[in-house]
């Protein structure tokens, strides 16, 4: 049996394998409520053998949405809509994860399907975005700087969302502190120019993140809590790998169980060099330096490559995104390519071997 298809236990949570589905925004919700598209989209990955399926960035408040078409988890209707989707994932053998998110200054933007970019005007369903500082992301509206009451509301919104998520049945809650969204905006000096207890020093800049992780852990003690970091801003003077290792150790001590290591997204002038596995070294640095389980992500599109990463000890699990869109049965194919005798849905058994 390959490492990729060996079960993984983190705390009290056991995954059937280590090939997981990364969160991918679908921009297909109405009033934050997931619909039939989300049910079919996510359930197919569980049928395809994923060990964990993490649903898209899901806003903890209306103003936390990236676009008006994002999913949410701030009210009862959304919670009820997520529950049968979670049941479908469980029925197919996968664990269910939800990425809890607030877009900050990158909120109230048009979805990729709108045909144009930028901030959605208020008379077309948009709203005023908020951020640690009144600094706009290039091409977007200038956000309002959060005051201390606003920061307290963000923490309360994450906690309430965590409670709703576990009530809907989710096993894994991922705190989104990456890709230029609100928590990432707070930790990076490129977007945080505050002079109070939430700005300046490293300890101050991660203060909101640590409050959110603590609140989520307290609200949902039965869930596995992950944190997604952008390991580097890919820009001079920004958040970097050393910061990520240091912050990962801090959230580990607060009860986080897993670090999801990605990168970029904070500033438009980022300079990223991409290629297969281009973010794996960041995951390896966090795993070695912070002593916490990590998953690697980024152009990992074959079972053989995923197995190589795990065999080197660079990560504990692998998340992929686009490859699952190309092939919703990626895990079954990878197991077949690796010669692993994993269980297939009986309806698909005829395709297992030649």
CB 37 within 8 A of CB 26: yes
Closest Cα partner for 189 from 175, 203, 199? 199
Instruction: Output DSSP code: residue 349.
Output: G
Catalytic residue selected from 181, 198, 278, 348: 181
The whole-angstrom separation of Cα 114 and Cα 142 is 21
Buried b (16+ CB within 10 A) or exposed e, 290-305: bebbbbbbbbbbbbeb
Q: How far apart are CA 335 and CA 340, in angstroms?
A: 5
* DSSP string for residues in 169-235: T-SEEEEEE-TTSHHHHHH-TTT----STTSSSHHHHTHHHHHHHHHHHHH-TTSEEEEEEES--SS
DSSP for residue 297:
E
Q: Is 198 a catalytic residue?
A: no
Q: Catalytic amino acids?
A: 181
């Amino acid at each position: 049996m390959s490492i990729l298809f060996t079960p993984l236990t983190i705390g009290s949570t056991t995954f059937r394998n280590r090939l997981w589905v990364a969160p991918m925004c679908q921009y297909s919700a109405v009033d934050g409520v997931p619909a039939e598209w989300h049910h079919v989209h996510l359930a197919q990955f569980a049928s395809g053998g994923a060990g964990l399926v993490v649903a898209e960035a899901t806003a903890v408040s209306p103003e936390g949405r990236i676009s008006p078409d994002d999913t949410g988890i701030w009210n009862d209707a959304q919670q009820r809509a997520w529950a049968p989707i979670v049941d479908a994932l469980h029925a197919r053998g996968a664990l269910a994860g939800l990425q809890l998110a607030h877009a900050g200054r990158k909120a109230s933007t048009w979805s990729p399907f709108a045909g144009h970019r930028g901030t959605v005007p208020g008379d077309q369903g948009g709203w005023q975005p908020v951020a640690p500082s009144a600094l706009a992301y290039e091409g977007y509206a200038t956000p309002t700087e959060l005051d201390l009451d606003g920061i307290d509301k963000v923490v309360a919104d994450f906690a309430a969302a965590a409670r709703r998520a576990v009530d809907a049945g989710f096993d894994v809650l991922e705190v989104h502190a990456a890709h230029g969204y609100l928590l990432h905006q707070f930790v990076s000096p490129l977007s945080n120019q505050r002079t109070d207890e939430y700005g300046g020093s490293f300890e101050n800049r991660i203060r909101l993140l640590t409050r959110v992780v603590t609140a989520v852990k307290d609200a949902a003690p039965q869930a596995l809590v992950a944190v997604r970091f952008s390991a580097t801003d890919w820009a001079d003077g920004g958040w970097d790998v050393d910061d990520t290792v240091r912050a990962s150790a801090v959230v580990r001590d607060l009860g986080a169980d897993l670090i999801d290591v990605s990168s970029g997204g904070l500033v438009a002038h980022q300079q990223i060099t991409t290629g297969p596995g281009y973010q794996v070294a960041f995951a390896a640095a966090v795993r070695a330096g912070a002593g916490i389980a990590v998953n690697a992500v980024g152009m990992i599109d074959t079972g053989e490559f995923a197995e190589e990463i795990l065999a080197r000890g660079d990560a504990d699990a692998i998340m992929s995104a686009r490859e699952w869109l190309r092939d919703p049965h990626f895990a079954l194919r990878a197991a077949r390519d690796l010669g692993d005798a994993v269980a297939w849905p009986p309806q698909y058994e005829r395709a297992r071997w030649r």
